[in-house]
Amino acid sequence: MWIYEKKLQYPVKVSTCNPMLAKFLMEQYGGADGELAAALRYLNQRYTIPGKVIGLLNDIGTEEFAHLEMIATMVYKLTKDATPEQLKATGLAPHYMSHDSALFYENAAGVPFTATYIQAKGDPIADLYEDIAAEEKARATYQWIINMSDDPDLNDSLRFLREREIIHAQRFKEAVEILKEERDKKKFF
């Protein structure tokens, strides 16, 4: 049995309708370094990661889905009152033509999500370095969106997400060190 509490990980408030900010946020919704790609990457990589750090990939992977929900809420709130003319002016007309106000996994340029965004080498240390890079790229993208935004309410939520990316990168760095230490131990039989 499930108990469903409709609550985001962190509150999302939007001051005004702003389709341009929504377009920028689509990068974090369906882009290569966005939340969906991260969630799928980490949950996929956990099958070839040693037990000492498998829980980390599971925890962060599921948290990325919570971030995806926050981004979806932001995009929806930023566009729900937009006119077709506003959507056209911000380059979202093709999205509107195909999906109306429905969300669709695509990046800011309108390129649909693809599984090629999900990296998995099978080498735990290589995969964790990829994960660190992914988190740092997501952090940078959040910062650039904040730089482009004049919505203080939205920026509060974006800062929360940016900070979580920093924490995730730190946790992955710790996991790399654990695995390096384990790899370098002498084994006696």
The model's confidence at residue 59, banded by pLDDT at 50, 70 and 90, is: very high
Residue 83 pLDDT: 94
Residue 182 pLDDT: 81
What is the distance between the alpha carbons of residues 45 and 86, in angstroms, rounded to a whole number? 41
> In sequence order, what are the residues at sequence separation of 6 or more whose Cβ sits closer than 8 angstroms to the Cβ of residue 139?
162, 165, 166, 169
SS (H, E, C) 127-154: HHHHHHHHHHHHHHHHHHHHHHCCCHHH
CATH topology of domain 19-183: Ferritin (1.20.1260)
For the segment 59-65, the average pLDDT, to the nearest whole number, is 97
The model's confidence at residue 68, banded by pLDDT at 50, 70 and 90, is: very high
C-alpha count within 13 angstroms, C-beta hemisphere, residue 163: 7
| CA proximity to 34, closest of 72, 7, 8 | 72
Give the CA distances from residue 181 to residues 42, 51, 134, 168, 184, in Å, rounded to whole numbers and listed in that order: 22, 14, 23, 20, 5
Residue 187 pLDDT: 62
For the segment 55-69, the average pLDDT, to the nearest whole number, is 97
Question: Is pLDDT of 149 > 80?
Answer: yes
For the segment 46-65, the average pLDDT, to the nearest whole number, is 94
Q: What is the dihedral of CA 104, 108, 114, 116, to 10 degrees?
A: -160
Domain ranges of the chain: 19-183
Average per-residue pLDDT for the chain:
94
DSSP state of 106: B
Q: Which structure tokens are listed for 170? A: 């730190």
Asked if residues 59 and 65 have their Cβ atoms less than 8 Å apart, the reply is: no
Between 9-13, 49-53, 80-84, 151-155, the lowest mean confidence (pLDDT) is in: 49-53
Predicted TM-score of the model (pTM)? 0.92
